[in-house]
């Protein structure tokens, strides 16, 4: 049902597609309500995922993700026993509130979870290529510092399953933009089109923000390669489910 980073020292999860009740292209743990799946099945999937994290579904807080760099501070969860509506437009959420499950939805984009133990604060980040180019992962670390006084050198980060360089073809303009921002290591050339590593770009953004290399863990999973465990928007041509990546204080 979910994967965890070995060195990320707070409750968290990156959902897989296993362990739910959805059918067809959404089989089985689809956690996206706007993809065409039966909503009753999505709600049951949300309850199962939340329960695995020792939460109720209403404690899962998500935003309407718009591939930008807006960051919202969350101070509470909604009452009820089903997944609440999104809290606004943003691609990263931060909090110091206990019992709130900050979550981002992905189906190829890079999920990044942050934890600042010195101030007991956390963040969940959605890094598609547009948000990654806006340095959203590093900006989320900076927001934890600005809001709560967190020290980036004491933060931990977990970068979850996403489409990786092996499968992520992009245009030359996007490749050149990332090379200019992050260096040549995030782009592979040699085939008909360049391949982009957004997970590595996110890792480099975190390093630039002050995190220690050993505090950043990257799960070695490609959502496009592994159809058994993961949904992939690109592989499945847009008809697919959504994962949640969640951190809980």
pLDDT tens column, 119-141: 999 999 999 999 999 999 999 99
User: Is the pLDDT assigned to residue 146 strictly greater than 90?
Assistant: yes
Structure pTM? 0.98
CATH number, domain 10-248: 3.60.140.10
Separation of alpha carbons 180 and 171, rounded Å: 15
Q: What pLDDT is attached to residue 81?
A: 72
CA-CA distance, 123 to 121, in Å (whole number)? 7
Q: What percentage of the chain has pLDDT greater than the value 70?
A: 99
Burial class of residue 52 in the structure, from the number of CB atoms within 10 Å of its CB (0-12 exposed, 13-18 middle, 19+ buried): middle
pLDDT for 84: 85
pLDDT at 75: 93
* Domain assignments of the chain as residue spans, ordered by start: 10-248
Residue 198: pLDDT over 90: yes
Residue partners of 106: CB distance under 8 A and separation at least 6: 126, 160, 161, 162, 223, 242, 243, 244, 245
The predicted-structure confidence for 66-123, as pLDDT tens digits, reads as follows: 999 999 999 988 767 788 889 999 999 999 999 999 999 999 999 999 999 999 999 9
pLDDT score recorded for residue 82: 82
Distance, CA of 2 to CA of 60 (rounded, Å): 15
Q: How many CB atoms lie within 10 A of CB 136?
A: 27
> Does the pLDDT value for residue 184 go beyond 80?
yes
pLDDT of residue 200: 98
């Amino acid at each position: 049902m979910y994967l965890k980073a070995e060195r990320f020292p707070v409750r968290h999860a990156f959902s897989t597609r296993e362990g739910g009740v959805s059918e067809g292209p959404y089989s089985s743990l689809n956690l996206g309500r706007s993809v065409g799946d039966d909503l009753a099945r999505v709600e049951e999937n949300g309850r199962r995922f939340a329960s695995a994290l020792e939460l109720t579904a209403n404690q899962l807080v998500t935003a309407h993700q718009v591939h930008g760099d807006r960051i919202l501070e969350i101070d509470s969860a909604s009452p009820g026993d089903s997944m609440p509506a999104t809290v606004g437009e943003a691609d990263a959420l931060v909090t110091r509130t206990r019992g709130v499950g900050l979550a981002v939805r992905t189906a190829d984009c890079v999920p990044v979870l942050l934890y600042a133990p010195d101030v007991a604060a956390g963040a969940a980040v959605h890094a598609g290529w547009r948000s990654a180019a806006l340095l959203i992962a590093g900006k989320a670390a900076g927001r934890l510092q600005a809001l709560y006084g967190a020290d980036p050198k004491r933060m931990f980060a977990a970068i979850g399953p996403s489409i990786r360089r092996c499968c992520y073809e992009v245009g030359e303009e996007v490749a050149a933009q990332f090379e200019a921002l992050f260096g040549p290591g995030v782009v592979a050339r040699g085939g008909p089109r360049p391949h982009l590593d957004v997970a590595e770009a996110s890792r480099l953004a975190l390093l630039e923000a002050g995190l220690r290399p050993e505090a950043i863990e990257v799960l070695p999973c490609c959502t496009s390669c592994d159809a058994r465990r993961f949904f992939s928007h690109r592989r499945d041509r847009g008809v697919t489910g959504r994962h949640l990546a969640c951190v809980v204080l």
